[in-house]
């Protein structure tokens, strides 16, 4: 077994029994086997050794692996091993205190230092190193320096005289060999004992006791046989001589301890072992944990009856955490272990801070469960996670005196000392943010039309509640930055929800008690809002809304403010305190969105204009841009509801004209661009998608846009029918019109677009009634208009707009037919009151759109014939074009002359050629006259 050791010579069997060992199959993994399962196999390799022996073996093993790692320049492994070494060293402190610092230890320290310095100097090599290694290098260097400070003197001595120490070693080895030969006779006895030990491990303790007398001799034999076979290995040999003389002392101590323990505890062997393992360095624990046997052992994490202390639990926790992120770690088991640990901690009343600490780690491991960023949490885990965070917050609220921060160093944590303030490392905010992201991910990955989605959506209330609680917690003790972050979370969960409570209250105030019922009905009817598309989705949404309302009601109970005030308060804080641009931008956009959603158009618009986001949004990252797009769309819809058609059109133009509204709003991927992106991009894009319950209804969006475009474009088209240079206001609207014209057979309109096209055609002839019928009817109500919270208002606005614009169109189109027209007739035709008609016509006259004058006494419009007719218009255009043609033709002529007249003349002409064709023509005529 201890092939690398020539020692093991001295130290008595008692103490070695206390550290009873399985043979190291591979360095670093000596305890990997669950002890009870495969005893037969292991027992063959078991041997009894002293504590000192054991420690030294540990050290030398580690040193060996460090050297190996050094050889292959694996710095990160070096670091790992060095950390283990440090821990082993502290454990071996007792032994070392007696023995003095062993040579091999000094040597590795010195070598490692040299090695690191060499690496550190080698700039080239460092560049080539991978990131992990580079990181490890610097941290290892620091650690080593810190560590070496304690042994400065010894190392210096070693450095001065490495030769001599080697000689020492030689000598000691020779000595030990000598002694070994002398005790060769006892070999048999030693072997025998070993065998027996193997055969009866359980009864070993007793035997050990009884045989303690003879043990020293046996050990001598042991060492002899081994040092003979492996004398070429020098590490560790050096110690043999010194330790030899310490044997007696060690023996006595070990025996005492042994007896003491036995008498006191009478432990089961197994539990003893576990305890021993407890004391072993933590690095070896990772191996223990993986695999099935662990699960069996798990319930007995601590020895029965062991006094569980804070330190012990923390150690345990660290051990568990060591395995985090490593390959082959069973993450589920890890989570369970941690939970068990919490239970244990709770059971033994180890204090809230410790529980907090463990819970932090549980949540973190829950997040770690999915190695893949794209994958989302399983529902059970998610519930667990929510529960855990809620408990965490509960604890935090219950114990406000505990200081929690991510900047608390591991070393400066205070978990148990009640005199000083408790300090726990961890950041609730990060955990909650992560939770929120997970929630988004879950929603993104759930089919929005399934019951499942509704189920998940119910958690939204919990998420909101958690964020609200966290906010309250942080308001007490968080820094402004943290507060900004949590406020943003809150804002992000609030901005897209329509505040029905506030709307209802407003309705009550406005309409009095009588109309409350109706208002409520309207609210229910409009509950769908723009977020849903289909009937069943409406259900989804309604459920969600109910939930949200509940959450909101809760909030309101807590905070006594509606979402408007809440948004205002949160956003104002963010505006004032935020230093990262991103949070402020998001907050502004959400604020605008919220204003727009609640029809506070002017405030929303002013905020948008003041923020100057339109100028620099293209520099923002895609999620913020998506938010911006959502906000613009909401702004446009809001303007439409207010009857501000032009503003609505302008706001929606960018999104709609691209034809990629779906993509721009993060509500789905376009199939068209599927070939253009690879799988990686697609994943990224998928992650950007907005969860379904936050969607803006695309059909509503398009309908609003098209109707707005119709109201603008039709009168414009009528006014500029003969203008050769007229521009389209909305390309998309024209496209729809053309599609409509291309239809060979026109049936009654079916889709929303067809309705709008049909309405446009009716409007073109000034037939507002038909136009109105097409825009507002059963079908369109169901598809679009009912989705607005104040649907009736919007419909009333629409009717009026249609009447007005139809009147304008009518006047543009047919003014040439009339000599005069009575305003009363017009008012009757369009069912508008006289002042409105008067206003519209006056406006048209002032804008020089309509060549007419008003005759006050008879209330008639007198048309003036100043506009050229269609044919005249054409003739004018033709004349212009012919002028152009002639000019071009003359240029050709000039060229001819230029060719004869010389190059320079041509050049000179070139200077003033542009734009003075008439002059030149005059000149030309003169020339001809002269001719």
Partner 1 sequence: MASRKEGSGSAGGGFGAAKGKGKAAAAGDSAVKQVQIDGLVVLKIIKHYQEEGQGNEVVQGVLLGLVVDDRLEITNCFPFPQHTEDDADFDEVQYQMEMMRSLRHVNIDHLHVGWYQSTYYGSFVTRALLDSQFSYQHAIEESVVLIYDPIKTAQGSLSLKAYRLTPKLMEVCKEKDFSPEALKKANIAYENMFEEVPIVIKNSYLINVMLWELEKKSAVADRHELLSLASSNHLGKSLQLLMDRVDEMSQDIVKYNTYLRNVSKQQQQKHQYQQRRQQENIQRQSRGEPPLPEEDINKLFKPPQPPPRMESLLIAGQINTYCQNIKEFNAQNLGKLFMAQALQDYNN
**Interface with partner 1 by CB under 8 A: which residues?**
869-871, 874-875, 877-878, 881-882, 884-885, 888-889, 891-893, 895-900, 903, 906, 927-928, 931
Q: What is the DSSP letter of 394?
A: H
Strand 820-822, strand 860-863: pairing: antiparallel
3-state helix, strand, coil in the chain (%, to 5): 75, 0, 25
Q: Nearest distance from residue 760's CB to partner 1, in Å?
A: 22
Torsion of CA 542, 543, 548, 549, to 10 degrees: 70
H helix intervals, 399-513: 428-444, 451-477, 480-494, 500-511
Residues 6+ apart with CB under 8 A from 526: 786, 787, 788, 789, 790, 791
3-state secondary structure 161-206: CHHHHHHHHHHHHHHHHHHHHHCHHHHHHHHHHHHHHHHCCCCHHH
* Cβ-based nearer residue to partner 1, 614 or 888: 888
**Which pair of structure tokens corresponds to residue 340?**
């068990």
* Cβ-based nearer residue to partner 1, 185 or 875: 875
**Which pair of structure tokens corresponds to residue 567?**
């948004």
* Cβ-based nearer residue to partner 1, 451 or 895: 895
* Cβ-based nearer residue to partner 1, 3 or 881: 881
* Cβ-based nearer residue to partner 1, 245 or 903: 903
Q: Nearest distance from residue 886's CB to partner 1, in Å?
A: 9
Q: Nearest distance from residue 718's CB to partner 1, in Å?
A: 17
DSSP-derived 3-state class of residue 403: strand
Work out whether the CA dihedral 763, 765, 768, 769 comes out positive or negative: negative
DSSP-derived 3-state class of residue 344: helix
* Cβ-based nearer residue to partner 1, 387 or 910: 910
Q: Nearest distance from residue 888's CB to partner 1, in Å?
A: 4
Residues 6+ apart with CB under 8 A from 560: none
Torsion of CA 430, 435, 439, 442, to 10 degrees: 110
Q: Nearest distance from residue 452's CB to partner 1, in Å?
A: 47
Q: Nearest distance from residue 711's CB to partner 1, in Å?
A: 29
* Cβ-based nearer residue to partner 1, 123 or 896: 896
* Cβ-based nearer residue to partner 1, 264 or 928: 928
Give all strands (DSSP E) within 578-725, no chain letters: none
Q: Nearest distance from residue 895's CB to partner 1, in Å?
A: 4
**Which pair of structure tokens corresponds to residue 728?**
């389209």
Q: Nearest distance from residue 758's CB to partner 1, in Å?
A: 23
Q: What is the C-alpha to C-alpha distance for residues 286 and 451, in angstroms, rounded to an integer?
A: 42
**Do the beta carbons of residue 411 and residue 432 sit within 8 Å?**
no
Q: What is the C-alpha to C-alpha distance for residues 50 and 904, in angstroms, rounded to an integer?
A: 112
* Cβ-based nearer residue to partner 1, 400 or 923: 923
Q: Nearest distance from residue 695's CB to partner 1, in Å?
A: 41
Q: What is the C-alpha to C-alpha distance for residues 355 and 395, in angstroms, rounded to an integer?
A: 9
* Cβ-based nearer residue to partner 1, 131 or 896: 896
* Cβ-based nearer residue to partner 1, 828 or 875: 875
Q: What is the C-alpha to C-alpha distance for residues 698 and 655, in angstroms, rounded to an integer?
A: 11
Q: Nearest distance from residue 799's CB to partner 1, in Å?
A: 35
DSSP sequence for 267-293: --HHHHHHHHHHHS-GGGHHHHHSSHH
* Cβ-based nearer residue to partner 1, 822 or 873: 873
Q: Tokens 């003879």 — which residue? A: 214
Sheet (strand 852-855) strand order = 820-822, 860-863, 852-855
**Which pair of structure tokens corresponds to residue 682?**
């697609």
Q: Nearest distance from residue 638's CB to partner 1, in Å?
A: 43
Q: Nearest distance from residue 814's CB to partner 1, in Å?
A: 15
């Amino acid at each position: 077994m201890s092939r690398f050791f020539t020692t093991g010579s001295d130290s008595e069997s008692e103490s070695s029994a206390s550290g009873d060992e399985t043979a190291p199959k591979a360095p670093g993994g000596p305890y990997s086997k669950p002890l009870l399962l495969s005893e037969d196999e292991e027992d063959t390799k078991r041997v009894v050794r002293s504590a000192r022996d054991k420690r030294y073996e540990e050290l030398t093993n580690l040193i060996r692996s460090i050297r190996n790692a050094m050889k292959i320049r694996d710095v990160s492994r070096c670091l790992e091993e060095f950390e283990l070494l440090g821990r082993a060293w502290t454990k071996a402190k007792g032994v070392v205190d007696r023995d003095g610092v062993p040579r091999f230890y000094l040597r590795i320290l010195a070598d490692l230092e040299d090695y690191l310095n060499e690496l550190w100097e080698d700039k080239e090599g460092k560049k080539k190193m991978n990131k992990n290694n580079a990181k490890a290098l610097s941290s290892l260097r620091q650690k080593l320096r810190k560590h070496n400070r304690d042994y400065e003197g010894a190392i210096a001595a070693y450095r001065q005289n490495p030769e001599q120490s080697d000689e020492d070693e030689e000598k000691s080895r020779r000595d030990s060999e000598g002694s070994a030969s002398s005790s060769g006779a006892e070999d048999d006895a030693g072997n025998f004992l070993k065998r027996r030990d193997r055969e009866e491990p359980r009864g070993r303790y007793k035997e050990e006791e009884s045989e303690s007398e003879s043990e020293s001799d046996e050990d001598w034999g042991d060492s002899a046989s081994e040092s003979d076979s492996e004398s070429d290995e020098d590490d560790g040999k050096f110690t043999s001589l010194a330790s030899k003389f310490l044997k007696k002392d060690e023996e006595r101590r070990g025996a005492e301890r042994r007896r003491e323990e036995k008498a006191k505890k009478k432990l089961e062997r197994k539990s003893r072992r576990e305890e021993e393992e407890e004391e072993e360095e933590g690095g070896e624990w990772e191996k223990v944990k993986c695999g099935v046997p662990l699960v069996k052992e798990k319930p007995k994490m601590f020895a029965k009856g062991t006094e569980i202390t804070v330190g012990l639990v923390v150690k345990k926790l660290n051990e568990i955490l060591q395995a985090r992120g490593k390959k082959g770690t069973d993450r589920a088991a890890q989570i369970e272990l941690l939970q068990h640990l919490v239970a244990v901690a709770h059971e033994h009343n180890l204090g809230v801070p410790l529980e907090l600490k463990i819970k932090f780690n549980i949540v973190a491991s829950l997040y770690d469960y999915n190695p893949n960023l794209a994958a989302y949490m399983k529902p059970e885990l998610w519930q667990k996670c929510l529960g855990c965070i809620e408990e965490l917050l509960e604890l935090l609220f219950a114990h406000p005196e505990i200081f929690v921060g991510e900047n608390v160093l591991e070393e400066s944590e205070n978990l148990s000392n009640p005199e000083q303030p408790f300090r726990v490392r961890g950041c609730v905010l990060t955990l909650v943010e992560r939770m929120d992201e997970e929630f988004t991910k879950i929603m993104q990955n759930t089919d929005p039309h399934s019951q499942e989605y509704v189920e998940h959506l119910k958690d939204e209330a919990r998420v909101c509640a958690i964020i609200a609680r966290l906010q309250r917690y942080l308001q007490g003790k968080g820094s402004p930055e943290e507060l900004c972050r949590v406020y943003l979370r809150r804002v992000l969960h609030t901005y897209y929800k329509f505040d029905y409570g506030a709307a209802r209250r407003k309705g009550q105030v406005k309409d009095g008690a009588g109309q409350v019922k109706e208002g409520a009905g309207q609210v229910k009817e409009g509950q769908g809002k723009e977020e849903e598309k289909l009937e069943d989705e409406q259900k989804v949404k309604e459920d969600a809304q109910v939930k949200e309302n509940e959450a909101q009601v809760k909030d309101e109970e807590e905070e006594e403010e509606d979402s408007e005030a809440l948004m205002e308060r949160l956003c104002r804080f963010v505006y004032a305190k935020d230093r990262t641009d991103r949070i402020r931008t998001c907050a502004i956009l959400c604020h605008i969105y919220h204003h727009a959603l609640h029809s506070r158009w002017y405030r929303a618009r002013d905020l948008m204009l003041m923020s100057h986001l339109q100028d620099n949004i293209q520099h923002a990252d895609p999620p913020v841009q998506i938010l911006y797009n959502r906000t613009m769309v909401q702004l446009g819809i809001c303007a439409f509801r207010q009857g501000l058609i032009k503003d609505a059109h302008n706001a929606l133009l960018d999104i709609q004209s691209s034809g990629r509204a779906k993509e721009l709003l993060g509500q789905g991927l376009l199939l068209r661009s599927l070939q253009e992106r690879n799988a990686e991009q697609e994943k990224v894009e998928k992650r950007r998608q907005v969860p379904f319950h936050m969607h803006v209804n695309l059909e509503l969006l398009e309908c609003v846009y098209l109707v707005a475009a119709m109201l603008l474009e039709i009168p414009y088209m009528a006014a500029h029918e003969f203008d050769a240079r007229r521009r389209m206001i909305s390309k998309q609207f024209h496209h729809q019109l053309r599609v409509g014209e291309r239809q060979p057979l026109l049936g009654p309109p079916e889709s929303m677009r067809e309705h709008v096209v049909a309405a446009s055609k009716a409007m073109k002839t000034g037939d507002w009634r038909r136009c109105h019928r097409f825009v507002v009817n059963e079908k369109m109500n169901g598809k679009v208009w009912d989705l607005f919270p104040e649907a009736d208002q919007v419909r009333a606005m629409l009717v009026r707009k249609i009447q007005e614009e139809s009147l304008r169109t009518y006047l543009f189109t047919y003014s040439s037919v009339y000599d005069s027209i009575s305003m009363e007739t017009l008012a009757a035709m369009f069912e508008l009151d006289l002042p409105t008609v008067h206003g519209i016509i006056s406006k048209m006259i002032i804008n020089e759109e309509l060549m007419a004058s008003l005759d006050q006494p008879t209330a008639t419009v007198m048309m003036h014939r100043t506009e050229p007719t269609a044919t005249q218009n054409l003739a004018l255009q033709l004349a212009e074009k012919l002028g152009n043609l002639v000019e071009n033709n003359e240029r050709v002529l000039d060229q001819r002359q230029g060719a004869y007249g010389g190059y320079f003349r041509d050049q000179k002409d070139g200077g003033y050629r542009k734009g003075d064709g008439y002059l030149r023509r005059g000149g030309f005529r003169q020339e001809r006259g002269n001719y």
